[in-house]
């Protein structure tokens, strides 16, 4: 366990496990970091895996700001502190921060692997079936987060996890609400909703790996084939691959892509 000092006394909590090429698991603002546990365990067999808590969440200082630039600055700092030149694995808004780091500090990023996310503005989803394309839905969700955070979390959890029992849903909501307070979540969510990372993502070129699985995203984002087609249109230089399942149910599929990226690094003498 380590602490990274940032400006104005903010401390970022991070931790690492395993040996090998560096992989940083960038936190997704609406999910508890435990969603990364399966992939972390998988990759730690032959990688050094770092995960951290965003400012305002978990063990890190409960202090903002929570805008995209600050968030990508924190990510870059964690990578630097971890030794640099990493593969970033991230979901949702983490992808937005990751492509910014990659575009601005290419020396820190070997590749970005995202098994669920679309580093572009919501207006790019206009013709998709994704809920994120609907202003009505997004505004309603923001409004709900502001008035009734737990119900908003519940809405996310149930949409993305139809298999969960009532008890599991409640436990997940409780965990997430405790991990990241309402105000932080709302601020981070607003930052994400208003962000368009398209240019930064395109600047990543072929270092961006977009993995598209069916039944991911809980209807908020395009999934599967629709996601793949849209990704190819938006990010012509990126690697776009369709995989069977997402990071939680089949971490090995995402890990396999990471290993393809890090294969040369792992082959090189220490």
Partner 1 sequence: MACGGALSPTCPNCGTENPAAAKFCIECGTGLGAGGSGVVAPPPGTTPQPPAAPGVTAQAAHPAQSGGLFGGQLPGVGAPAWGSPGAGALPEERRKATVLFADLFGYTAIAERMDPEAVKSIVDRALRRLGQEVVRYGGSVDKYIGDNVMAVFGAPVSHEDDPERAVRAGLAMQAAMEEINKDIPGAADVSFSLRVGINSGEVLAGQVGDGYTVMGDAVNVAARLQAAARPGSVTVGEITHRLTRGAIEYEELEPLTLKGKSEPVPAWEAARVLIPGPATRGARTEAPLIGREDESALLMSMFERVGRESRPHLVTVIGQAGVGKSRLLRELATQIGGRPEKPAFRVGRCPAYGAGLAYWALGEILRDQFELVDTDDSELAWAKLLRGVESVVSDAETDEPPVRIAATIARPLGIEPPAEHAMPTGVHDVDDAQQTRDRLFSAVRSLVEAVSRQRPVVIALEDIHWADEGMLDLIEYLARWVRGPALIVCLARDELLDRRPGWGGGRRNATTISLEALSQDETRQLVAALLPDGNGTGANGQGELVPQVAERSAGNPLFAEEMVNRIREEGSKEVQTLPETVHAVLAARLDSLSAPERRVLQHASVVGQTFWEGSLAGIEEEEGIHLQEALAALQEKDLVIPSAGSRLAGEHEYAFKHVLIRDVAYSTLPKSVRAWKHAQVGGFIEERAADRSEGVVAMVADHYGRAAALGADTEMEHSELERINLKALSALEAAGDAAASLYSNQEALSHYETALSLPGERGSPRADPAVRARIAEKLGDVALRLGRVDQATGVWEECLEFHRGEEDLARVGDLHRKIGAGLWHKGDREGSIEHYQKGIDLLKDGPPCLELVRLYEEAASLYMHTGDNMLAIYASEKALRLAERLGEAAAASRAHGIFGRVFGRIGDSERARQNLERSVELARESDPAEAVRALLTLGYHLEISEADYKGAGAAYQEALELAEQTGDLPSKVELHAALAQLAAHAGDWDAVEREAEASGQLAEREGLTGKLCFPYMMRGMLRWREGRFDEAAKGLRQAADLAEQVGRSEVAFQSLFWLGAALRQRGDHADADTELARALDLCERAGLVAQSVEAISSRAVNLALAGRLDAAREAADEAERLADRLRYPVGKAASLEARGAVAADPDEASAALAEARAAWQGLGRPLDAARCEYLRGRLLRESNPDEARQALERAAAEAKRYGVDHLAELSLKLLPA
Under the binding rule (CB under 8 A), the answer on residue 148 touching partner 1 is yes
- Within 8 A by CB and 6+ apart from 204, the residues are 99, 102, 103, 109, 112, 237, 238
Interface segment toward partner 1; rule CB under 8 A; list 1-9, 32-40, 63-71, 161-169: 161-169
The binder of partner 1 chosen from 144, 175, 187, 193 (CB under 8 A) = 144
CB of 141 to partner 1, least distance (A): 5
Under the binding rule (CB under 8 A), the answer on residue 123 touching partner 1 is no
Under the binding rule (CB under 8 A), the answer on residue 159 touching partner 1 is yes
Element (H, E) at 265: helix 251-267
Q: What are the b/e assignments for 141-163, b being 16+ CB within 10 Å?
A: beebbeeebeebbbbbbeebeee
Interface segment toward partner 1; rule CB under 8 A; list 66-74, 110-118, 153-161, 252-260: 153-161
Under the binding rule (CB under 8 A), the answer on residue 154 touching partner 1 is yes
The binder of partner 1 chosen from 109, 112, 131, 211 (CB under 8 A) = 131
Under the binding rule (CB under 8 A), the answer on residue 199 touching partner 1 is no
Residues 61-100 contacting partner 1, CB under 8 A: none
C-alpha R_g of the chain:
17
Under the binding rule (CB under 8 A), the answer on residue 163 touching partner 1 is yes
- Alpha-carbon distances, residue 153 vs 3, 25, 102, 120, 157 (angstroms): 28, 22, 30, 23, 6
Closest CA to 79 of 39, 116, 49: 49
Under the binding rule (CB under 8 A), the answer on residue 190 touching partner 1 is no
- Identity of the residue, 148 or 237, whose beta carbon is nearer to partner 1 in the bound complex: 148
- The answer to whether the beta carbons of residues 164 and 158 sit under 8 Å apart is yes
Residue 227: DSSP 8-state: H
Where do the DSSP E strands lie in 155-270?
Answer: 208-213, 239-243
Q: How many residues make contact with partner 1 (CB under 8 A)?
A: 26
Residue 111: DSSP 8-state: E
- Identity of the residue, 149 or 235, whose beta carbon is nearer to partner 1 in the bound complex: 149
Under the binding rule (CB under 8 A), the answer on residue 147 touching partner 1 is yes
- Within 8 A by CB and 6+ apart from 196, the residues are 120, 121, 123, 124
The binder of partner 1 chosen from 85, 137, 193, 265 (CB under 8 A) = 137
- Identity of the residue, 159 or 263, whose beta carbon is nearer to partner 1 in the bound complex: 159
Phi and psi torsions of 125, nearest 5°: -95, 10
Interface positions with partner 1 (CB under 8 A): 129, 131, 134, 136-137, 140-141, 143-144, 146-148, 150-152, 154-156, 158-159, 162-163, 166, 170, 219-220
């Amino acid at each position: 366990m380590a602490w990274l000092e940032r400006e104005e006394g903010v401390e970022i909590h991070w931790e690492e496990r395993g040996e090998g090429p560096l992989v940083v698991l960038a936190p997704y603002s609406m999910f508890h970091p435990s969603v990364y546990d399966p992939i972390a365990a998988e990759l730690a067999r032959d990688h050094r895996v770092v995960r951290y808590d965003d400012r305002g969440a978990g063990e890190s200082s409960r202090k903002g700001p929570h805008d995209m630039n600050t968030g990508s600055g924190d990510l870059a700092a964690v990578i630097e502190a971890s030794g640099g030149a990493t593969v970033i694995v991230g979901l949702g808004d983490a992808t937005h921060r990751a492509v910014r780091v990659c575009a601005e500090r290419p020396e820190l990023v070997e590749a970005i692997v995202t098994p669920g996310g679309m580093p572009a503005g919501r207006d790019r989803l206009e013709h998709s079936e994704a809920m994120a394309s609907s202003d009505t839905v997004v505004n309603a969700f923001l409004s709900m987060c502001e008035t009734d955070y737990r119900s908003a979390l519940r809405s996310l959890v149930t949409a993305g996890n139809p298999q969960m029992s009532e008890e599991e849903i409640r436990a997940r909501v409780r965990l997430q609400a405790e991990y990241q307070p309402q105000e932080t979540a709302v601020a981070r969510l607003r930052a994400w909703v208003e962000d368009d990372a398209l240019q930064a993502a395109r600047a990543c070129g072929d270092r961006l790996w977009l993995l598209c699985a069916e039944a991911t995203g809980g209807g908020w984002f395009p999934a599967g084939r629709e996601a793949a087609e849209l990704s190819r249109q938006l990010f012509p230089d990126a690697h776009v691959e369709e995989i069977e399942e997402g990071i939680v149910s089949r971490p090995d599929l995402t890990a396999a892509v990471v290993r393809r990226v890090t294969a040369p690094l792992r082959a090189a003498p220490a």
